[in-house]
């Protein structure tokens, strides 16, 4: 999977692979996925990208997802 993030100047979105993001994360860390369908990405952070065990370091990363799989964040500020 991939996530879209702002560039350094906050002028445009750029794609970032979850694999690349995981390689940047040092432990201990907390990752907050404040987006629709965050539950889809959580498994990619909890274990190996292909289902393999990543060892003890993966246990030192806490991943918080704002939504579950299939859930959409509200876009109306009244909510």
Banded model confidence at residue 3, pLDDT cuts 50, 70, 90: confident
Q: Write out pLDDT tens, residues 13-57.
A: 889 888 888 888 888 888 898 889 999 888 887 765 444 455 666
* Long-range contacts, stretch 14-20, CB < 8 angstroms, 24+ apart: 18/44, 18/45, 18/49, 19/49
Q: Can you read off the two tokens belonging to residue 44?
A: 């990619």
Nearest to 38 by CA among 73, 74, 6: 73
pLDDT at 64: 92
pLDDT at 57: 61
Alpha carbon 25 to its chain's center: 11
pLDDT at 79: 66
pLDDT at 56: 61
Inform me whether the pLDDT recorded for 69 exceeds 90: yes
């Amino acid at each position: 999977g991939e996530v879209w993030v702002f560039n350094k100047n906050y002028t445009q979105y750029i794609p970032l692979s979850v694999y690349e993001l995981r390689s940047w994360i040092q432990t201990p860390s907390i990752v907050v996925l404040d987006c629709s369908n965050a539950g889809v990405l959580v498994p990619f952070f909890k274990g190996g990208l292909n289902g393999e065990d990543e060892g003890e370091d993966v246990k030192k990363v806490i991943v918080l997802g704002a939504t579950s799989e299939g859930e959409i964040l509200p876009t109306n500020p009244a909510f």
